A and B are shown apart, each in its own frame.
Chain A
Amino acid sequence: MAWITKDSANARIDRRDEPYLSDAFKRSFDEKYAHRYPNRQALSLPILHAIQHEHNYLPYQALEEAAEFLGIGVSDLLDTATFYEEYFLEPKGKYTVWVCQSVSCEIMGEGDVTKAISDKLGIEPGETTADGKFTLMKVECIGACGGAPCALINEDLAEDLTPENVLKRLDVLD
């Protein structure tokens, strides 16, 4: 999986006065999840999902607050956060397009679909448009191979894509 080397010595951490994790957030999170697991480290994935859901990515300060809230080390939570492809440590676009590049999709024309998106948005896979609207990701099989080539646009599945119909789907997003 991802091996992220970060420039710890020079990295500047953006901080703000207002906490990312409000008391209300913590209360409702604990109500929903705490009873499910025998320890609090197991809440790591749920809390990372919850933070990203609210803030679009995982701000470092939010990770610090979450680690304190769970009673685990910040490095432990960061260790988990950097391992998984879905967690973003940098802001991503309002819409993330996850194009599947695995075998069935490649056979059915993923290459042309990705190229069409890439040309249209002026970004390479892994990048975000300057206006912060779109992030393009190439990912492995998303479990919708019957509709290959396919992609997820945020949480919505787009199947049987062509270079033309995929652009139409992006055009209608605001």
Chain B
Amino acid sequence: MPLENPVIFKNVPTPPWGGFADRKYVDYDAYVKAGGYEALQKGIDDGGEAVLAEVKAAELRGRGGAGFPAGMKWGFLPPADGEPRYLAINADESEPATFKDQILIQYDPHTVIEGIVLCMLACNLDTAYFYIRGEYHHHRDAFEKAIQEAYDNKVLGENARTGKINDRWPRLFLHRGAGAYICGEETGLLESLEGKRGWPRIKPPFPAVAGAFARPTIINNVETLANVPYIVAHGADAWKQNGKGRPDGVPPQVPASFGTKLFGISGPVNRPGVYEENLGISLKSLIEDYGMGLRDGEQPKAYFHGGISMGVVSQEEVEQGVQMDFDIGKKWANLGLGTACVTVIPQRTSMVSMARNCARFYSHESCGQCTPCREGTTWTAKLLSRIEAGDGTTKDLDLLLELASSMGSMPGSTICGLADGNNWAIRTIVNKFFHEFEEKVSKSSSVSLAVLG
């Protein structure tokens, strides 16, 4: 069932309800006119605990990549002790092929701010930092403007309509990053917020206990928080009408895929862009009905279905019915839904080049503090450049797969998940398109003079 009405993109014109060309900045007045900040008022009237209960009941799962239930995360906070408590909003959005949060930031920042203040209310957090990647220049201006409007209208700041939260007037500040993928990892983000290099921290302690400035901190993605106003305004049940629930007989502890999701589509399609649909939509329908199919002369071969770190699904798998929900990893041998921003890889593109591109990315973005990741990603990138240049051997393929299984937080040899992203990208590409790699390594005639260093 296609989505009937947009939830998060209510104010952002998007096909089939509107056109990209009509997207514009929704300011405070326009937002209020469209029913904005009514959820905040309801949250204030009902109280923070009711908001927390509603978000828990909605089973809202994080939209930043890992799909962790937001309500559960919020529940990990220790009781207030009179000292500051923080919210860090993850607007780093630097997973390759991902460009969904920026639409909300640019055009409908007040939905995000309303979600932020509701979260502060629910979790008793007094100060929020909006960590936005350095490259989002116009987005930063738009969001700064919206923050100012929110202060001017007593959504935030002294005499805010929420009253004091954690004995302080609620505050929200934008914090600009400076070009480092690893600052999207939640503890790398916190280090960067504190003015240091973005080196992820060893957990525990988890940020909910000791996060920013060693104080309890909640970290959520922009899109996750943008769902909160709807949940508070209409209730968890209404929100759960969208998306994909648990199959009959599955116990309630098993997390489902309720709600809508922003999906990005890029690559050689007729209408690339960011769309909203139900979780559980088939990838095929997403490409055909929203991306309007591939451009003339292009044939699909594979897809990065949720940023490169989740790995790839092949066109054959998509024909068999890949659905975009939180179970995609288990069903189709990849890491998970990720950011749900899809890159279409056409037939003409070599999967060896795609693997080389991914490997270069991880070797460049590894923060360098864990030896397996720092050395392993660089080694992988060199191996793949060599294979691409036609100088690889069959043994190199074994080595490649071995490398891509031995580093990472899942084998337990690294601090954060960057190395796991590397592994899944490389392993799924190599395993699902092994013939392309075999072809490259068995061509003994192509001697190249590439110098690697």
Contact = CB atoms under 8 A, between A and B. Distances in A.
A83 B195 contact: no
A116 B202 CA distance: 44
B268 A85 contact: no
A139 B273 CA distance: 21
Contacts of B353: 106
Nearest to A40: B195
Interface stretch (A11-19, A44-52, A163-171): A44-52
B179 interface: yes
A123 interface: no
B198 A104 contact: no
Interface in A119-144: 139-144
Contacts of A37: 213
Contacts of A152: 135, 137
Contacts of B346: 107
A61 interface: no
B363 to A, nearest CB: 11
A96 to B, nearest CB: 11
Contacts of A49: 134, 176, 178
Nearest to A102: B96
Contacts of A145: 96-99, 264, 266, 272, 341, 343
A155 B365 CA distance: 22
Interface in B134-181: 134-138, 171, 173, 175-181
Given A3-B368, A38-B84, A145-B343, 18 more contacts: A1-B198, A36-B173, A39-B213, A45-B177, A45-B178, A49-B178, A76-B196, A83-B197, A84-B197, A86-B135, A86-B179, A103-B97, A103-B345, A140-B365, A145-B97, A145-B272, A155-B138, A157-B138
Contacts of A46: 175-176
B94 interface: yes
A87 interface: yes
Given A84-B180, A103-B308, A44 B99 contact: no
Given A98-B135, A141-B97, A83 B198 contact: yes
